[in-house]
Amino acid sequence: MDFAFSSEQDMLRTAAREYLAERHPLTGLPAIIDGEPGWQPESWQPLADLGWTDDELTLLDQVVLFEETGAALLPAPLFSTVALALPAVRGDEELRAAVASGDLKLSLAWAESGRPQGIADTGLATTADADGRVTGRKILVPDAAWTDELVVTVAGPQLRLVRTADATVTPVSTSDRSRRLYEVEFDSAPSRALGDGSVLAEMESRAFVLAAAEALGVGRRALEDGIAHASTREQFGRVIGTYQGVSHQLVDSYASLELARSLTYWAAWALAEGDDQAAVAVAAAKTAAAEAAVNACERVIQVHGGVGMTWEHILHRLYKRAQWLEAFGASGRALRGRIADAVLG
């Protein structure tokens, strides 16, 4: 069996990297995300025109894409629309077409205060009455203010689609300004049914795989910065990369990221093929990739002598995204528990 990427996927990777370098360089990121609204709405349509919001992309295609958008810290509701919400509207051709054309931006509202934060967790307090009116409060909703509609998990479980304008959206102060989070209040908000909760487990798995892909991009970008710095910075008459205390940290980061990359590609393949090991692969990929990205950022900050945490440097922004990805959905400890349960029974 050939596990190599297709020529089309290689072209997608190259095209995405070149487009993001030209249109969304990291050097211009702070001015965008530290201001309001935190992104450039006019940048959305070109992303749709490139086909990045099209559900025709396979999961492996999306992994290739999100590795590049992660490296760019792309400030746009692409993760919330494609990785989180798009699987919920797959059965509605009109909604799928609207997302693909760029006419519809989405996010998923699933987390509730005082309850487990996994997408597939049940026992929800948010409800929908007989008329489909949604009442409840969701927390930590990615990009909510940037969207047109929200996919909301409600008791049942069910999935409902609510216009963002029919909810009260309040920003939450977080460290990662490139991925803004919101509290969303629903007070008898009208909605339309999207289906029951049978797709939630698959939605969570797909989101974890694409979060892992993002983490690979974040870690890769941090490591590239560290290698460039270690190759030019001199101390005591030598380039600092020649010191083992520096080079070994970078090599360890590279090895961890490569292992995580293999796990992520395995998880994407296993999930797409319905393999029996998909659940284990997804948990392993998300854990390994997020932790590798966090560790890479921390090591590269050390290689820079701490300057990476200054406001002007991009490293602290990569680090904050890596930390968000590590916490997203389930902790590494919780995911290791899933792996242990699956392996040990």
Give the domains, in start order, of the chain with CATH numbers.
200-344 (1.20.140.10)
Report residue 243's pLDDT band, with 50, 70 and 90 as the boundaries: confident
* Per-residue model confidence as pLDDT tens digits over 137-192: 999 999 999 999 999 999 999 999 999 999 999 999 999 999 999 999 999 999 99
Burial class (CB in 10 A: 0-12, 13-18, 19+), 311: exposed
* Per-residue model confidence as pLDDT tens digits over 193-225: 999 989 999 999 999 999 999 999 999 999 999
Beta bridge partners of 245: none
pTM exceeds 0.85, yes or no: yes
* Per-residue model confidence as pLDDT tens digits over 21-68: 999 999 999 999 999 999 999 999 999 999 999 999 999 999 999 999
Residue 249 · residue 302 · CB < 8 Å = yes
Question: Which own/partner contact pairs does 46-50 have at CB distance under 8 Å and 24+ positions apart?
Answer: 47/76, 47/78, 47/102, 48/100, 48/101, 48/102, 49/102, 50/15, 50/16, 50/19
Q: Is 131 helix (H, G, I), strand (E, B) or coil?
A: coil
Would you state the pLDDT for residue 208?
Answer: 99
